[in-house]
């Protein structure tokens, strides 16, 4: 059996397409569950050539004698071998689809972003068959640390300056795609977008499209209910969990209607046919917003996000729910950091939301009433807590739980949720 190509060989081939020669390769991080690795490369132009210019700059390149070796990133996805007789699991399928979605983002969508919303440039990509029937996917990216040298910590809070910068980046990203993702064909034609893993398996697309040709996720993120049924079923059966009871309660209070978690998921989900409760506000979301997935400038006033495996359609507030819980300092949400059991929106939280909301509308050039935005935000918090309660809590969990207790106790929110669900059903007819 022919051995798979080495990371050095793959890197050299990709660099050669840009007239670059590999000088060194250093693994810097393993991908989740052993699905590959990320390497930092050093490369220089081949003799008598010039280095590639950045897609978003003036298009000029520097003569060879004025150039120095540059750093690049190689993201190499190599799924672990699986027995051919074993049926694909939801988790395995999710990962394969996520890497294909990320490839699509970097090769088709990222080049459209303005310089004010920085992401890594994709210099080249490739999909190579492996002897075991799997495929290796390789992305050659610019190194964000050249301009953004401060790495966000793993499961650590950002400082206040970085938190504002992250919020501004998200508002810019969401605002830029807002109009482009609403009712449009082409890149966001709903029939082309990637469904939840189990649905993709039923459709015969569970292997992922290695070259990213399918598109991004129909429902961005990795926590929505349709892709977390196993964890949800486990929570439902956990009689000792506060949230098992709270989230399975019927929204209408009659005991015979759909439960809170199901209706929340239905309202938040972008419609496969372009119809749904929140369609006017659907944009492209990052899908995995946390400090670990960004680099900051030396001053902290600018950030650039990476890791777009779960990029797809959704409400921008779904990105904010994870950011606020996992990366924003608690003191920016609650004065003094003291959290009661039940908590309404505090001034710190409101200030952050208003900053995002105003910038989103300015960049998206569309209307978004504050009252509707807040309802969407509250609903996103409930959905995010449902995932954490079934998977495991981390971050500002006391704040999240206190906020969701407040939301679930609000009869006006429940009435709005039911109206939104009914409207979604009407729109789909």
Q: What is the pLDDT of residues 226-257, one digit of tens each?
A: 999 999 999 999 988 999 999 999 998 765 67
Q: Is the pLDDT of residue 213 over 60?
A: no
**pLDDT-above-70 percentage for the chain:** 88
Please give the structure tokens belonging to residue 220. 């961005």
The helix/strand/coil state of 254 is: coil
Whole-angstrom CA distances from 287 to 57, 293, 401 are: 28, 11, 21
Domain limits, the chain: 7-146, 150-427
Contact between 287 and 309 under an 8 Å Cβ cutoff? The reply is yes
7-146 and 150-427, same CATH topology: no
C-beta neighbour count of 240 within 10 angstroms: 6
> Which strand ranges, in their side-by-side order, compose the sheet holding 36-45?
20-30, 36-45, 70-77, 135-142, 122-129
pTM here is: 0.92
Strand runs labelled E in 261-302:
283-285, 294-296
The pairing of beta strand 283-285 with beta strand 312-314 = antiparallel
Among the residue ranges 111-115, 205-209, 234-238, 259-263, the one predicted with the least confidence is 205-209
Cα–Cα distance between 85 and 88 in angstroms, integer? 9
DSSP sequence for 44-68 = EEPTT--PPPPTTS-S----GGG--
Q: What are the φ/ψ torsions at residue 117 (nearest 5 degrees)?
A: -120, 80
Contact 186, 215 (CB under 8 A): no
Q: What are 368-388's pLDDT values in tens digits?
A: 999 999 999 999 999 999 999
Query: What is the rounded CA–CA span in Å between residue 345 and residue 378?
Result: 10
Please say whether the beta carbons of 140 and 124 come within 8 A: yes
Q: Are 22 and 43 in contact (CB under 8 A)?
A: yes
Q: Of 86, 37, 66, whose CA–CA distance to 206 is shortest?
A: 86
Whether 207 shows a pLDDT value over 90: the answer reads no
Q: What is the largest CA-CA distance in the chain?
A: 77
| Rounded-to-10 torsion of CA 139, 143, 149, 150 | 0
Poorest-confidence range of 86-100, 129-143, 201-215?
201-215
- The yes-or-no verdict on residue 308 having pLDDT over 90 is yes
CA distance 116 to 100: 26
pLDDT at 203: 82
Task: Say how many Å lie between the first and final Cα of the chain, rounded.
Answer: 54
* pLDDT at 117 (0 to 100): 98
Q: For the domain with range 7-146, which CATH number is right: 3.40.50.150, 3.40.50.280, 3.30.200.20, 3.40.190.10?
A: 3.30.200.20
**374: which 2 tokens?**
């807040």
pLDDT at site 146: 94
pLDDT digits (tens, 9 = 90+) for 106-151: 999 999 999 999 999 999 999 988 777 778 999 999 999 999 999 9
pLDDT by residue (tens digit) across 135-145?
899 999 999 99
For residues 36 and 26, is the Cβ–Cβ distance under 8 A?
A: no
Q: Is the dihedral of CA 48, 51, 52, 56 positive or negative?
A: negative
> Considering the chain, what is the average pLDDT of its residues?
90
What's the pLDDT score for residue 286? Answer: 99
Query: Per CATH, the architecture of 150-427 is what?
Result: Alpha-Beta Complex (3.90)
pLDDT of residue 245: 94
**More confident: 393 or 82:** 393
Average pLDDT over residues 401-427: 91
């Amino acid at each position: 059996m022919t051995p798979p190509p080495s990371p050095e060989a793959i890197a050299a081939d990709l660099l050669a397409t840009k007239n670059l020669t590999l000088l060194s390769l250093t693994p810097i991080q393993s991908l989740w569950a052993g699905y590959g690795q990320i390497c930092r490369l050093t490369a220089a132009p081949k003799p008598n050539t010039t280095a590639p210019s950045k897609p978003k700059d003036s298009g000029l390149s520097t003569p060879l004698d004025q150039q120095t070796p540059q750093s690049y990133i190689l993201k190499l996805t190599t799924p672990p071998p699986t027995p051919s007789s074993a049926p694909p699991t939801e988790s395995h399928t999710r990962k394969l689809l996520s890497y294909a979605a990320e490839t699509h983002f970097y090769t088709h969508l990222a080049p459209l972003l303005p310089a004010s919303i920085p992401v890594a440039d994709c210099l080249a990509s490739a999909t190579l068959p492996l002897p075991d029937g799997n495929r290796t996917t390789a992305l050659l990216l610019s190194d964000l640390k050249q301009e953004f040298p401060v790495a966000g910590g793993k499961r650590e809070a950002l400082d206040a300056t970085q938190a504002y910068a992250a919020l501004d980046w998200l508002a810019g990203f969401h605002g830029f795609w807002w109009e482009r993702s609403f009712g449009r064909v082409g890149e966001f034609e709903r029939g082309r977008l990637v469904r939840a893993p189990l649905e993709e398996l039923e459709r015969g697309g569970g292997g992922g499209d290695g070259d990213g040709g399918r598109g991004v996720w129909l429902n961005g993120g990795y926590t929505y209910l349709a892709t977390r049924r196993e964890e949800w079923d486990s929570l439902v059966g956990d009689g000792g969990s506060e949230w098992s009871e709270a989230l399975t309660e019927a929204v209408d209070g009659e005991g015979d209607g759909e439960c809170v978690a199901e209706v929340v998921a239905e309202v938040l989900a972008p419609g496969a046919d372009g119809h749904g409760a929140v369609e006017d506000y659907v944009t492209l979301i990052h899908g995995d917003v946390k400090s670990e997935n960004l680099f900051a400038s030396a001053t902290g006033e600018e950030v650039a996000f990476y890791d777009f495996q779960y990029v797809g359609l959704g409400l921008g507030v779904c990105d904010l729910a994870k950011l606020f819980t996992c990366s924003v300092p608690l003191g920016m949400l609650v004065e003094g950091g003291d959290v009661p059991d039940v908590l309404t929106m505090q001034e710190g939280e409101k200030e952050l939301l208003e900053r995002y909301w105003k910038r989103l509308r300015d960049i998206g050039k569309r209307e978004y009433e504050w009252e509707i935005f807040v309802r969407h935000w509250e609903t996103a918090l409930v959905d995010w807590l449902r995932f954490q309660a079934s998977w495991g809590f981390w971050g500002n969990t006391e704040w999240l739980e206190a906020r969701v207790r407040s939301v679930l106790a609000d009869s006006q929110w429940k009435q709005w949720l039911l109206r939104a669900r009914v409207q979604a059903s009407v729109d789909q007819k």
